[in-house]
Amino acid sequence: MILANIDDYRELARRRLPHFLFEYIDGGAFSETTLRSNANDLQKILLRQRVLRDVSEVSTATTLFGQKLAMPIGLAPVGIAGLNARRGEVQAAQAAEAAGVPFCLSTVSACSIDEVRAGVNNPVWFQLYMIRDRGFLREMLARAKAAGTNTLLFTVDMPVPATRYRDMRSGLSYGTMFQRKLTRSLQVLRRPQWAWDVGICGRPHSLGNIAPVLGENAGIDEFWAWLGKNFDPTVTWADIDRIRTEWDGHFIIKGILDPDDAKQAANIGANGIIVSNHGGRQLDGASSSIRALPKIADAVGDDVTLLMDSGIRSGLDVVRALALGAKAVMIGRPWVYALAARQKTGASEILQLFANEMRVAMALSGCTKISDINRDMIESID
379: phi > 0 → left, psi -120 to 50 → alpha, else beta; which? alpha
**Structure confidence at residue 381 (pLDDT):** 64
Q: Does the pLDDT of residue 142 top 90, yes or no?
A: yes
Range from 113-117, 231-235, 265-269, 315-319 carrying the lowest mean pLDDT: 231-235
Task: Lay out the sheet containing 151-155: strands in order across.
Answer: 73-75, 328-331, 305-308, 272-275, 250-256, 151-155, 125-129, 104-105
Is 205 considered catalytic here? no
pLDDT digits (tens, 9 = 90+) for 306-361: 999 999 999 999 999 999 999 999 999 999 999 999 999 999 999 999 999 999 99
Domains, the chain, ordered by start: 6-165+227-367 (3.20.20.70)
The whole-model pTM stands at: 0.95
**Structure confidence at residue 160 (pLDDT):** 86
pLDDT digits (tens, 9 = 90+) for 21-74: 999 999 999 999 999 999 999 999 999 999 999 999 999 999 999 999 999 999
Catalytic residue, candidates 19, 205, 250, 278? 278
What's the chain's length in residues?
382
**Structure confidence at residue 172 (pLDDT):** 85
State mean pLDDT over 213-226: 69
Task: Please state, rounded to an integer, the average pLDDT across all residues of the chain.
Answer: 93
List Cβ neighbours of 110 (8 Å cut-off, separation of 6 or more): 80, 81, 82, 83, 87, 88, 89, 205, 206, 207, 208
HSE, side-chain direction, 13 A CA sphere, residue 22: 18
CA-angle at 109, arms to 103 and 110, nearest 5° = 120
**Structure confidence at residue 137 (pLDDT):** 86
